[in-house]
A and B are shown apart, each in its own frame.
Chain A
């Protein structure tokens, strides 16, 4: 029997108080996520239980108990406090998936500061945008990534503390601080910031069609949704070994790579390396992974290598498989049944929702290609894109909409209240995705309702790419769109009109690709560049990205009455 039991019964009788009660959320005035992921687990007699098994790409392994992560997160919190960081300050974590990332996250929260994890492959421009917007006060990083910070340091006057967690004896610059988690004086007791459940906890940046990336702000009470969804959707049990492949630079990596599993007191393992089929399977075998939360892109890459690659390893420890990031295609579900004897369960949510909102539950009939059903406590529907009224007819495509009020819902976009308020229409939170609902209540994803590009489960904003492209010496104007990709669902394609004196060439294409990769991130790098004499525009001069995208997807172009040169 799965943790959730009967979905229908749970949905009918659900109350978020169930989660609050299990967590004892608010007991003695405590609402801090840091406490619930460490101290509380130790208080329940699991101090010596393994919380984290970390493996580096060279095979090195480090193991941490719940008492270890309790003490080390205290140590991070005390260190921050000693350096003048206070509750409410934004503290960025910019590093690969090393133990310090996971544990400093909890230390920041224990202090009452706001954790701002950023993907370690971000380039300088992507960093500036996000650190400047958040007015970040401190950053934890490593020697591998410090150069990027150094190059933008003077443009970030609010950044007061740059902390290098692996400095060892290597020289640092004047305003940088070395901090070694392992060597620092261990702090057994730290007075955890006692604030209300609505105190900000995590700031994750996400991309939109227009403007700069937006910081989705979450609060400590998000844990009640992350706890119960981890328990019921990921179906974790006390003896499970759980592996979430997401990077905590993105929301999955914090909600389900830190908060959810540790609030449940289970053992999780982390593999800090790039994608490698053989090594992933070996990792599952070595650590006897039982619950695996991964992404469609990774699953499709595994499919590419075939079932023979799976059969070289003993993956019989696997018990439950879940996927997130972009829609999981039916072929991948069917393949995983053949490869592992288990179907991947697709789950749907986004940075703003903070936790899974629509999903395939363990024990529920899976319809391959469907997103599943709404989580108990979540009122989800599809609404008409013009009236925002719920659509009653099964199979009709509309916008996915959620009734506001679930605990992990974002509370604001940092410095951008207007955009935040614009996400709510007619009493619904509008997710920005299109879907239909069938007669049995299953959601079927159709696509984004805007120009945001979903590549390998990560949202990339076309505006950010186009702005960066314009900084290249050869680019006069540009448009970035998503083009279909078998593995990543979409990849970035750029249409570029060159300045006089520049000619299209393979060299120039590669130069522009690398320019964007370094400036923004590998995800934002156009995988294809099409040089064009000019871009289609409206009569008011706005580039008609929609038209270019439709061409890539082989879709109807739609209304072009406003096209400038029609």
Chain B
């Protein structure tokens, strides 16, 4: 389940936040916010995607540049809200 989730988020990040011909690699540990792949404003759309996909509500105070800074961090955050990971 966690593996599927990682792939889902990585694919979404690549599709939505990287240019189509970008050669940048994204793994579960790639910095997202601090590297500038996803800026703090765009984080809102990534949060909206996660909430919609997993039918959850992530409180704004938990959605920080740190908790969204890598797919691994995001998975750890999601564990608080999604039962079956």
Is the beta-carbon distance between A525 and B44 smaller than 8 angstroms?
A: yes
B19 within 8 A of partner (CB): yes
Residues in B22-37 with C-beta less than 8 Å from chain A: 22, 24, 31, 33-36
Given known pairs A304-B61, A507-B52, A510-B49, the reply for A275 and B40 (CB within 8 Å) is yes
The reply to whether A276 and B45 contact each other, CB–CB distance below 8 Å, is: no
Q: Does A522 contact B (CB under 8 A)?
A: yes
In terms of DSSP, what is the predominant structure of the interface of chain B? loop
With A and B bound together, what is the CA distance between A383 and B73 in angstroms?
51
- CB contact between B40 and one of A274, A509, A513 (< 8 Å): that residue: A274
Kindly state the interface size class of chain A when it binds its partner: 20 to 34
Beyond A509-B48, A510-B48, A514-B16, is A275–B33 a contact (Cβ under 8 Å)?
yes
Identity of the chain A residue whose Cβ is nearest the Cβ of B16 in the assembled complex: A514
Q: Are B39 and A274 within 8 A (Cβ)?
A: yes
Q: Are A273 and B34 in contact (CB under 8 A)?
A: yes
Residue B66 at the chain A interface, CB threshold 8 Å? yes
In the bound complex, CA of A276 to CA of B43 (Å) = 13
Residues on B with C-beta less than 8 A from A411 are: none
CB–CB A57/B45 < 8 A: no
Give, as a whole number of angstroms, the nearest-CB distance from B64 to chain A: 7
B4: CB under 8 A from chain A? no
In angstroms, how far is the closest chain A Cβ from the Cβ of B78?
A: 17
A-B contact count (CB 8 A): 74
Partner of A513, one of B22, B38, B44: B44
Q: Which of A272, A301, A517, A525 has the most CB of B within 10 A?
A: A517
Interface residues of A in 54-108 (CB under 8 A from B): 57, 96
Known A276-B65, A304-B61, A510-B52; contact A523-B34, beta-carbon cutoff 8 A: no
Query: Complex Cα distance A279/B35, Å?
Result: 12
Who on chain A is nearest to B51 by CB? Answer: A506
Known A510-B52, A514-B16, A527-B44; judge A276-B66 contact (CB<8 A).
yes
Chain B residues with Cβ under 8 A from A545's Cβ?
none
Query: A residues within 8 A CB of B42?
Result: 517, 522, 525
- The verdict on B21 contacting chain A, using a C-beta distance below 8 Å, is yes
Interface residues on B, range: 20 to 34
User: B36 near A57 (CB under 8 angstroms)?
Assistant: yes
Whole-angstrom distance between the Cβ of B79 and the nearest chain A Cβ: 21
Q: A448 near B: Cβ within 8 Å?
A: no
Which residues of the other chain, B, contact A273 by a CB distance below 8 angstroms? 34-36
Q: Which residues of A contact B36 (CB under 8 A)?
A: 57, 96, 272-274
| Chain B, Cβ-Cβ closest to A528 | B44
A478 and B61 CA atoms in complex are apart in Å by 29
B66 touches A57 (CB 8 A): no
A200 to B45, CA, bound (A): 39
Asked whether A147 is an interface residue with its Cβ less than 8 Å from the other chain, the reply is yes
Q: A525 near B41 (CB under 8 angstroms)?
A: yes
Does B20 belong to the interface (CB within 8 Å)? Answer: yes
Whether a CB of chain B sits under 8 angstroms from the CB of A543 is: no
**A277 close to B66 (CB less than 8 A):** yes
> Is A148 engaged at the interface, CB distance under 8 Å to the other chain?
yes
B interface footprint on A261-289 (CB within 8 Å = 1, 0 otherwise): 00000000000111111110000000000
Enumerate chain A residues within 8 angstroms of B31, measured Cβ to Cβ.
57
Asked if residues B48 and A304 are in contact (CB atoms below 8 Å), the reply is: no
* CB nearest to A304 among chain B residues: B64
Contact status B65-A523, CB under 8 Å: no
Interface string of B52-80 (1 = CB under 8 A from A): 10000000010011100100000000000
Chain B CB within 10 Å, residue with most, of A121, A275, A525, A527: A275
The residues of A that contact B35 with a CB separation of less than 8 Å are 57, 273-274
Q: List 25 A-B contacts (CB under 8 A).
A: A57-B35, A96-B36, A121-B39, A272-B36, A274-B34, A274-B36, A274-B39, A275-B65, A276-B33, A276-B66, A276-B69, A277-B65, A301-B40, A301-B65, A305-B66, A456-B41, A507-B52, A509-B48, A510-B45, A510-B48, A514-B45, A525-B42, A525-B44, A527-B41, A527-B44
- A-side interface residues toward B, CB under 8 Å? 57, 96, 121, 144, 147-148, 272-279, 301, 304-305, 455-456, 506-507, 509-510, 513-514, 517, 522-523, 525, 527
The 4 nearest A-B residue pairs measured at CB: A522-B41, A276-B34, A522-B42, A147-B19
Given A276-B34, A277-B65, output 8 extra A-B contacts at Cβ < 8 Å. Answer: A121-B39, A274-B33, A275-B34, A276-B66, A276-B69, A278-B66, A456-B41, A510-B48
